[in-house]
Structure 1
Amino acid sequence: MAPKVLVSDKLSETAVQIFRDRGIDVDFQPDLGKDKDKLAEVIGQYDGLAIRSATKVTDKLLEKADNLKVIGRAGIGVDNVDIPAASRKGVIVMNTPFGNSITTAEHAIAMIMSTARQIPEANASTQAGKWEKSRFMGVELTGKTLGVIGAGNIGSIVIDRAHGLRMKVIAYDPFLGQERADKLGVEKVELDELLSRADFVTLHVPLTDKTRNILSRENLGKMKKGARVINCARGGLVDEAALAEMIQSGHIASAALDVFAEEPAKENPLFGLPNVVCTPHLGAATSEAQENVALQVAEQMSDYLLTGAVQNALNMPSVTAEEAKVMGPWIKLAEYLGDFAGQLTDEPIEAINILYDGVAAEMNTAALSSAAIAGIMTATNPDVNMVSAPVVAKERDIDISSTTQTKSGVFDGYVKLTVKTPTRERSIAGTVFSDGKPRFIQIKGINIDAEVGQHMLYTTNKDVPGIIGTLGQTLGTHGVNIANFTLGRRNGDAIALLYLDEQPDNGVLTALRNTGLFQQVRPLQFEVA
């Protein structure tokens, strides 16, 4: 059955056609997002939801979205999506961070030019029949210092364009390495130095707890007298009241803002001030950008629903279509390892460590870790998936860690999962054979070679004679057929992992436990395709 996607905002017909061409059953209702009650009535029918900014994806809406797997936001901002609630529900949230990058960067450059030459005010004055040539004395950009706060995708485009204007560019970005700075041709500086040196300061960072109010009253005061401020990133990055006061005092020469702390911005301390340019969040407002993000979100959602590829997700590691093909068996292995450990663990889990060896270490280990954690969590919550599992683990204060190493044994690569509880550590390792089938290769440090079956039985015992006979006889007496039988032993301890044709009932388990030979007798179940 084809996946079903609802488009509840205004996406282009070309984008909608992409869903159809990819074999997706798409329902195009561009005004539905404005009717939250009607949307809540129908959302349970869909696997995917494609939106812009009009649709509000709230916790209450997600409660009704029982089949929803992915939300695609055409654009970069996801303020209208409750991402934590989506993560708890196991729904991937994607955006399109690059489709409007050029458009937004160009708008920032336009705003820089507008503040330098007072273009909006000069236009209004001239059209009013005035000829105030002497009033609008501007400054050249050539030779001026542009301070870029945030040298990511959009910031780097602004840097490139500023070089074309013969500006000197300095940048502050905690994640900007020296090699990347050299490639961009910028001088990497700390924030205080940028503020004290820049003639123009332009912001290109997301709004987070660390960036909120980054141009605070204190930091605005550190700027050189006569500098100019440009914000085409996010409202909330600038103390707007303080900026207005410093423009009035002459400390800041001018400012240009496309975004505001409260939007739609009907009132603002900057409105009406001379030397201030304001636009209504037009950064991505070009026909090219709107089309690009719509096409991109349709492709991303289709890729995920049809191939499992994850791109530009905000609550899940990205997995390309190529990775999805190669990693499919390894993701399944990670789920099996987690599921095994989860079914055997009866105590609160304190920590999970995942070791990746050889070829497994070269893969997308973040995605593999999500799969392993999901496997563990499904033992107590079957609704958990790769998206929600890390959230659930964090809520339970479980310490998650992973390590990688080069090939260290007979296998090209393997994954080893270790779960720590208040009283013990349990480890299990597995690999993927050349036939693409996951295998368990080690339990409790004891080497084995066991394929994964839907119905399995795990036992531990002292390494003494009679165990195999007891297992076979007891299961046979109760009419349970053994499909595969794997044994392992080390230092006087032994384990057995049996692949059975059916799930053993309580009578079988009780009979085995009553022999007094086994330390553990645990039935296991796995979802095997």
Structure 2
Amino acid sequence: MKVLIADSINQKGIDNLKEYSEVVVQTDITPEELKETINQYDAIVIRSRTKMTKEVIESADNLKIIARAGVGIDNVDLNSATQKGIMVVNTAESTTITVAEHTMGLILAIARKIAIADKSVKENKWEKSKFMGTELRNKTLGVVGMGRIGSQVIKRCKAFEMDALAYDPYLPEEAAKELGIELVDLNRLIKEADFISIHVPLTKETKHLIGEEEFKAMKNGTFIINCSRGGVIDEDALYDALKSGEIAGAGLDVYETEPPVGNKLLELDNLVATPHIAASTNEAQRDAAIIAADEIIEVLKGKTPKNVLNLPSVDPETYQILKPYLTLCEKLGSFIGQGVKGKIKDLEIIYCGELAEIQKQDILTRTILQGLLTPILNRAVNTINSQAIAESRKINVTEGRKCDSQGYDSIIKIKVKTDEDTLSVEGTDLHGPQIIKVNNYWVNAKPEGNMFIAKYEDIPGTIGAIGTNLGKYNINIGTMQVGRDKAGGEAIMILTVDHEIPKDVINELKELENVHDANGLTL
């Protein structure tokens, strides 16, 4: 077995690999050289410099795994690797502790005014009274987003004798109790926390999650920290809140535009700013190298690594049968995950027809979970880790088989139950993913692009009222599908629209007479 180290990594990772394989270190390899020689290797370790393009991957006839010693995989053509049967892994967990510690560093820096005090002393000043600080003990930390990093931040804040509140709309109460935290809604967290730390991905739901309204709801003296993604905090609103004294201070490692050249926030003394370095420590780089090496070693031993970001291998014959349904599974999972309200408790999956005869359905279930969980989590979800994540979230997954596929080659039926809602969807492949039933109502919709789903009373004028309101906001309808159980009963509407429907428009539609619920989706 032969491994190429194409970018600089910690020596510990290289040493570990040498125990199991021949290792070639060539950290200055050019794209042309890589393309010419990649077929000699069973594995490759990269960071951000080396680009695993489609052309390189197509030449990698013997390559089994691409290991990215870091978080992102923008420099890897994931689709080409999947088609070639090459596993792609990263080392996202290597930065968990590092980012959590940086978060605590920012909390201490803003609470004790360390940055401006340091600057003052270096200017030969002695302004002790100017830098009166705030203790962490007996204060309340509010964590927004309870993923790997958020959990570690709470663990560390307890060492400072702080109380903790957490907001995560997708974390069940049982999981929160196991972590020893109180789960609350965002409004309560904002009103009660003395320190607020953000640990969520940047999505359409979290864009400007903390804005003018939230800052006004915070109590005087609140501090806010963001080591997740720029854009979760509205920086204009943050500037106003800091400038006016509505909040006491902020610590930022990420910004809406990076680098934040000319950002007016940088003018303020009650802001501590770092240049997106929360994940940058010697230990994190060491751990990334070790984890990358461990993943490769698992493959060299004939085992499956745990951080695979693409499909696990299946035999070619089975893969050809499953291939059209993998996209369908991800789309159905995403559709039902975005369309249901509340915390997911139970997921039921039934495979009908041809798929019921396949023994290796595990990849389909994992792909459904990937689609279900990806929009709501601040971590990479893939077909390898999706089941473990579902288990950690206390989601009960059951599978079944049926021979009857109602005239189709195969049908996949999914039903989700939450603490406040139930939603079911059925789909098949008809030259592409197709939704054929929602809540047992027959429809015919392609799960793609911007969509809208509404439950309503089948009364004349309701459909028109929904369309009129969308038109009022210049939202054009592409296709419309409706289904009902009986005339005048409950009905369901599925639209494809040309543009994403803003959240406030969705809320307005929910208030329409005879509309029971409405939701916008992006697939």
> Which range, TM-score by smaller chain?
0.5 to 0.7
Name the structure 2 match of 1:192. Answer: 187
1:76-126 CA deviation, whole Å, 9 max, x = no partner? 344544545654555433122222322221111111011101101101101
Q: CA deviation at 1:138?
A: 1.3
Name the structure 1 match of 2:363. Answer: 367
Counterpart selection for 2:18 from 7, 20, 38: 20
Tell me, in whole angstroms, the C-alpha distance in 2 between the residues paired with 1:305 and 1:296: 14
Name which one, 1 or 2, has greater alpha-carbon Rg: 1
Contact kept, 8 Å, 1:48 with 1:70, in 2: the verdict is yes
Normalized against structure 2, the TM-score is what?
Answer: 0.59
Counterpart selection for 2:27 from 24, 30, 38: 30
Q: CA deviation at 1:256?
A: 0.9
Letter in structure 1 aligned against 2:23:
V
Name the structure 1 match of 2:210. Answer: 215
Q: 1:192 to 1:131 in 2, by over 3 A?
A: same
Q: CA deviation at 1:369?
A: 5.8
1:363-392 CA deviation, whole Å, 9 max, x = no partner? 995337689xxxxxxxxxxxxxx98xxxxx
Q: 1:56 to 1:211 in 2, by over 3 A?
A: farther
Counterpart selection for 1:148 from 129, 143, 149: 143
Q: 1:177 to 1:337 in 2, by over 3 A?
A: same
Letter in structure 2 aligned against 1:12:
N
Q: CA deviation at 1:132?
A: 0.7
Structure 1 stretch displaced more, 189-198 or 142-151:
189-198
Tell me, in whole angstroms, the C-alpha distance in 2 between the residues paired with 1:123 and 1:199: 24
Q: 1:196 to 1:80 in 2, by over 3 A?
A: farther
Counterpart selection for 1:227 from 222, 228, 235: 222
Name the structure 1 match of 2:115. Answer: 120
Question: 1:484-495 counterparts in 2 under 5 A?
Answer: none
Q: 1:265 to 1:58 in 2, by over 3 A?
A: farther
1:166-223 CA deviation, whole Å, 9 max, x = no partner? 1111101123221221122211012222222221111122334443433344544443
Q: CA deviation at 1:293?
A: 1.5
Tell me, in whole angstroms, the C-alpha distance in 2 between the residues paired with 1:58 and 1:219: 44
Residue segments in structure 1 that go unaligned for 5+ positions in a row: 318-327, 344-349, 372-385, 388-401, 406-414, 428-529
Contact kept, 8 Å, 1:145 with 1:167, in 2: the verdict is yes
Tell me, in whole angstroms, the C-alpha distance in 2 between the residues paired with 1:364 and 1:342: 12
Contact kept, 8 Å, 1:226 with 1:251, in 2: the verdict is yes
Name the structure 1 match of 2:9. Answer: 11
Contact kept, 8 Å, 2:35 with 2:59, in 1: the verdict is yes
Tell me, in whole angstroms, the C-alpha distance in 1 between the residues paired with 2:43 and 2:240: 47
Question: 1:445-464 counterparts in 2 under 5 A?
Answer: none
Tell me, in whole angstroms, the C-alpha distance in 1 between the residues paired with 2:210 and 2:83: 34
Counterpart selection for 2:278 from 263, 283, 294: 283
Contact kept, 8 Å, 1:11 with 1:30, in 2: the verdict is no
Residue 71 of structure 2 is aligned to residue 71 of structure 1: no
Tell me, in whole angstroms, the C-alpha distance in 1 between the residues paired with 2:41 and 2:245: 56
Letter in structure 2 aligned against 1:155:
G
Structure 1 stretch displaced more, 269-278 or 201-210:
201-210
Contact kept, 8 Å, 1:201 with 1:230, in 2: the verdict is yes
Tell me, in whole angstroms, the C-alpha distance in 2 between the residues paired with 1:9 and 1:128: 41
Letter in structure 2 aligned against 1:7:
I
- Aligned Cα root-mean-square deviation (Å): 4.0
Letter in structure 2 aligned against 1:30:
T
Q: 1:88 to 1:264 in 2, by over 3 A?
A: farther
Name the structure 2 match of 1:158. Answer: 153
Residue segments in structure 2 that go unaligned for 5+ positions in a row: 325-330, 333-348, 368-381, 384-396, 412-523
1:229-257 CA deviation, whole Å, 9 max, x = no partner? 11122333323333223212222321111
Between Structure 1 and Structure 2, how many residues are aligned?
Answer: 361
Counterpart selection for 1:425 from 409, 416, 441: 409
Q: CA deviation at 1:354?
A: 4.0
Contact kept, 8 Å, 1:73 with 1:96, in 2: the verdict is yes
Letter in structure 1 aligned against 2:409:
E
Q: 1:57 to 1:178 in 2, by over 3 A?
A: same
Tell me, in whole angstroms, the C-alpha distance in 2 between the residues paired with 1:149 and 1:183: 17
Q: 1:312 to 1:211 in 2, by over 3 A?
A: farther
Contact kept, 8 Å, 1:353 with 1:417, in 2: the verdict is no
Name the structure 1 match of 2:291. Answer: 296
Contact kept, 8 Å, 1:337 with 1:417, in 2: the verdict is no
Q: 1:213 to 1:85 in 2, by over 3 A?
A: farther
Contact kept, 8 Å, 2:351 with 2:410, in 1: the verdict is no
Q: 1:340 to 1:264 in 2, by over 3 A?
A: closer
Residue 247 of structure 2 is aligned to residue 252 of structure 1: yes
Letter in structure 2 aligned against 1:288:
E
Normalized against structure 1, the TM-score is what?
Answer: 0.59
Contact kept, 8 Å, 1:418 with 1:425, in 2: the verdict is no
SS at match of 2:308: coil
Tell me, in whole angstroms, the C-alpha distance in 2 between the residues paired with 1:220 and 1:152: 24
Contact kept, 8 Å, 2:350 with 2:399, in 1: the verdict is no
Contact kept, 8 Å, 2:5 with 2:45, in 1: the verdict is yes
Contact kept, 8 Å, 1:353 with 1:418, in 2: the verdict is no
Letter in structure 2 aligned against 1:367:
I
Structure 1 stretch displaced more, 198-207 or 54-63:
54-63
Letter in structure 1 aligned against 2:202:
L
Aligned-pair identity (%): 40
Letter in structure 1 aligned against 2:287:
N
Contact kept, 8 Å, 2:69 with 2:292, in 1: the verdict is yes
Counterpart selection for 1:175 from 170, 174, 184: 170
Q: CA deviation at 1:69?
A: 3.9
Tell me, in whole angstroms, the C-alpha distance in 2 between the residues paired with 1:287 and 1:336: 45
SS at match of 1:114: helix
Name the structure 2 match of 1:398. Answer: none
Tell me, in whole angstroms, the C-alpha distance in 2 between the residues paired with 1:190 and 1:16: 46
